[in-house]
Amino acid sequence: MFFRQYDLACLSLYSYLIGDTGTGRAVVVDPQRDISEYLADAEANDLRIERVIETHFHADFLSGHLELAKATGAVVSYGDVAEADFPIEPLAHGQRLSLGEVTLEIRHTPGHTPESISVVVRDQPDAPPWAVLTGDTLFIGDVGRPDLLTSVGRTADSLARDLHRSLQEQLLTLPDATLVFPAHGAGSACGKHLSTAASSTIGEQRATNYALRPMTDDDFVQAVTDGQGVAPLYFAFAADANRHVHGLLDDHEPPTALTLDQALDLAGAGAVLLDTRAPEAFASGHLRGSVNVGLDGRFAEYAGDVIRPNQRVVLLDEAGRGTEAKVRLARIGFDDVAGEVAGIEALLAERPELATAARRLPATDVAAWIASDPDVQVVDVRNPGETGAGALPEARNLPLPQLLDHLEELDPSRPTIVYCAGGYRSSVAASTLRAHGFAIVADMIGGYRAWSALTTVPAT
């Protein structure tokens, strides 16, 4: 058996290449959209990718099933209740797929979504299960959230009850020694307590996972639905896009090189100017009206919180990392990248009339400002589950994924302070507010961690 797990850390995504070295037959499970690594590994190990198995319609990324089908001729498979507008070869509950000695068994495990499946892996047809690929049904330390489909008429309560049965009847019936390989790890918005571990066993999860403790359906529903974070803004778009035919990604093609004037013309026509530098570099000088999402963080996820799907994007950067940024946006289905302006700092030095700086304040200065100015509005862009330890005085909790849809609830004429947990999301949010006409905006360096470290702070 050939087995490889791929870790796409910026989206907390795990995907898999499984093959039989005797026959050369292989499948990819839950692929990311840029597929070059799967193709290279298959070629290096004399494997033919003949099938793409999707455990469900993903909401947090645009999958690479269409790209792999085009590149290899592979069939695309989902559970047999899935419906898509491209050809799929459905997989029934209990169905076995033979790659040679290596055998895959499909188990229908609805709950995170109605069509969710898990894939049991055996290295020989009659051998005990070696592993199970659980998609978003079972994570290490958590289970998939059941509340992402409320916008299309499925209740979190009914899906949570389906999830409870799937876990008890389909996954916990596997031997304790069975390895567990999920589709996501720590940081994913598809759950709330995901571990940093990349794998586990059924026995270990039975003993340690809070959602697998013996409990009634009602108790399970409460346990898995309470405390979920706000789903990123782009999730509904990506989940829908995964059901439809769409353009294919060439992950080697760079974005078109643009001049500064071309970028300004595109912005005038509605494009978003997306500056991918670190918050500190952005604050020192940036193009007026640009939004800052640093490329070295969870770039695609946070860009998807402050840019609308299908909105044109112009990339602004210093190091010529436009291809990387374009691919990372494409991973969530944001394909309309008009081009890249590289070397933005030198260009702005030549045309300083186009540049402005951002205010980033230490917690001590924020405390003094709040104490001296009763008109200041404070915006906390953390998720609700992050606010339990405390908040700044009179702060309005408006999680980053909700910012665009609730701008009218803030006063653009008032001075505004934005903060998060550590300072990355606050730069994203503050730049978004400026781009939407807020005149005086600052974000707090170090976020709430810096605030809570002050020896004296205003009472909340």
The pLDDT assigned to 229 comes to: 82
CATH of the domain at 219: 3.60.15.10
Are 138 and 276 found together in one domain?
no
Spatial contact of 419 and 380, defined as CB atoms under 8 Å apart: yes
* Secondary element (H or E) of residue 287: strand 286-287
Q: Are residues 300 and 374 in the same domain?
A: no
- pLDDT of 32 reads 98
Percent of the chain clearing pLDDT 90 (strictly above): 90
pLDDT score, position 389: 85
Give me the phi and psi of 91, to 5 degrees please. -115, 125
Q: What confidence tens digit (pLDDT) does each residue in 187-232 have?
A: 888 888 789 999 999 999 999 999 999 999 999 999 999 888 888 9
* Tokens read off for 218: 């009602």
246 lies in some domain = no
**Rounded-to-integer distance, Cα 347 and Cα 51, Å:** 48
Q: What is the pLDDT of residues 146-202, one digit of tens each?
A: 988 754 667 889 999 999 999 999 999 999 999 999 999 988 888 887 899 999 999
Whether 207 and 300 map to the same domain: the answer is: no
Domain identity same for 406 and 314: no
DSSP structure class, residue 352: G
Give me the pLDDT at residue 250, please. Answer: 95
The mean per-residue pLDDT over the stretch 436-460 comes to 85
Q: Is the pLDDT of residue 70 over 70?
A: yes
Q: Residues 222, 228, 234, 238: what is their CA dihedral angle, to the nearest 10 degrees?
A: -50
Compute the average pLDDT of residues 372-401: 94
CA dist list (Å): 273 to 75, 234, 263, 266, 341: 38, 18, 8, 9, 10
- What distance lies between CA 250 and its chain's CA centroid? 21
At residue 315, the pLDDT reads 98
Q: What confidence score (pLDDT) does residue 460 get?
A: 47
User: How would you list the strands of the sheet with 75-77, edge to edge?
Assistant: 2-8, 13-19, 25-29, 48-53, 75-77
Residue 418's beta-bridge partner residues? 379, 443
User: Would 255 be classed as within a structural domain?
Assistant: no
Where is 450: in which H helix or E strand? helix 447-452
**222 and 274 both lie in a single domain:** no
Position 296, amino acid: D
pLDDT at 457: 56
Torsion of CA 60, 65, 68, 69, to 10 degrees: -160
Rounded to an integer, the average pLDDT of 312-329 is 95
pLDDT, average across residues 245-270: 96
| 249 in a structural domain | no
Element (H, E) at 2: strand 2-8
Q: How many angstroms separate the CA atoms of 135 and 118, rounded? A: 6
Q: Are residues 392 and 351 in the same domain?
A: no
Q: What is the percent of the chain where pLDDT is above 70? A: 98
- Six-digit token string for 129: 């299960």
Examine the domain organization and report whether 342 and 369 are in the same domain: no
pLDDT at res. 149? 72
Domain interval for residue 395: 359-452
113 and 9 co-located in one domain: yes
Question: In this structure, are 399 and 422 located in the same domain?
Answer: yes
Same domain, 210 and 146: yes
Q: Give the end of a domain, one of 307, 336, 356.
A: 356
CA dist 41 and 4 (Å) reads 9
Residue 112 lies in a domain: yes
Distance CA 81, CA 86 (A): 14
* pTM reported for the whole predicted model: 0.93
